[in-house]
Amino acid sequence: MENDRNESIDAVKGLCLLHMLLLHLSIIYGTIDFEGNEAGLYFHLMEFFMIPFYLFSGYFFSKKLNFKEFFKHKAHKLLLPLLFWSCASLPIYYFYQYYTIGDIQWGEPFKMFLSIGCLYSDSPLWFLFSLFFVNIIFYFASMRLKKEKYLFGFIVLCFLYACLDRYYLPCYLSSSNISLGLVYFYIGYRIRKANQTKVLNPKILVMALAIFVIISIFNPQWMQIVTLTQTEGLFTLNLLFALSGTYILWYLFSLFPKTSIFSYFGRSSMTYYVWHMIPLRMVFDPIVKEYCPQMPCWQYIAVGGV
C-alpha cells in the first residue's frame, strides 16, 4: 500500500535519480566524462549515487517467498523491463546512427553485452541485469548459509573478489558490480534486521559526516560503478565514502520525509531509469546539435531535464 512506503528511502532514491539525470546530461553535453575529468566538487560528493539502490534493495529483501516465486517476482520486476527496453532501443539506435553518421553499424549495440550484460543502445540497463543477479545470488546464499558468520564470510569473499576484479580481472556480465553490489545489499539487509529507529541516530550521523568530510578532503573519490574503474581515491575507502554519504542523505530525509518531489521520483525511480537515456542521447542531443549547437550547458541541462 502507498501509506506503507518508507518516504525517507523514496526521497534518497529520488534525489539520486535526479542526480543521475544531471550527470548523464553533463556527460552527453561533454562537460565531464565517465572518468570524472572536469567533474566539479558536487559530482565528486555525489559519486556514490548508485549505491543506495543496492543498499535499499537489500533493506527490503525477504525470504518469505520460495525460490520459484522469488525468481518470478524479480524476473517480472527486472528482467522483463531489461528485455523490453533492450528491444525497444534497437530501432531507435539504428535510426540515430543513420541520422548522425549516415550509416548503420548493426553490431554496435551489442559491443558491451559480454562485459556488462546489456546493449549499448540503452546502456543504463546494466543495473537491472546486475540487481537481478545480486538478488538471486543473495537469496541462495542466505538460504544455504544458515549461520550469520558463514553469510558474513561469503560477503567478505565477494568484496575480495570485487577488489581482484577491480585491479586484475576483466569484467564479464557485470561480475564487478554484482560482487560489490552484494556487499551493499547485505549491509542493507543487516540494517533492516537492526531496526531503522536504532540505526538512524545523531551519534552515527556525526561519525558519518566526519568520515565523509575527511575522505572528501584527503582522498576524493571517483569510481565508475559499472566496471569498478576508479580514477580517483582508494577502492577500500570508497566503501566507507558511499555508506557515509548514503547514511547522511537517509538521516536528513528522515527528518523531512514528506519531501514530495524527491519521494515522487523515488517511488517511480525504476520507471524513469530504464528509458531516460533513449530520448536524451538519441533524440534530444541530436536535435540540439542540429538546431542549437551553441546552447550553453546550463540551458541544455534545464531543457533536457524537463
Looking at residue 137, its pLDDT comes to 97
Q: Are 267 and 255 in contact (CB under 8 A)?
A: no
C-alpha cell belonging to residue 145: 548459509
Looking at residue 1, its pLDDT comes to 37
Mean pLDDT of the chain: 89
Count CB atoms within 10 A of the CB of residue 279: 12
Look up cell 533492516; give the residue: 192
If DSSP codes are grouped into helix, strand and coil, which group holds residue 112? coil
Looking at residue 257, its pLDDT comes to 64
Instruction: State pLDDT tens for residues 3-55.
Output: 467 889 999 999 999 999 998 888 888 888 666 666 778 888 999 999 999 99
Which residues of the chain are modeled with pLDDT < 50? 1-3
Looking at residue 5, its pLDDT comes to 77
Backbone angles phi, psi at 232, to 5 degrees: -145, 140
* Nearest 10 degrees: Cα torsion 158, 161, 167, 171: -90
| Residue 306 to residue 294: CA distance in whole angstroms | 19
Looking at residue 66, its pLDDT comes to 92
Instruction: State pLDDT tens for residues 262-272.
Output: 888 888 888 88
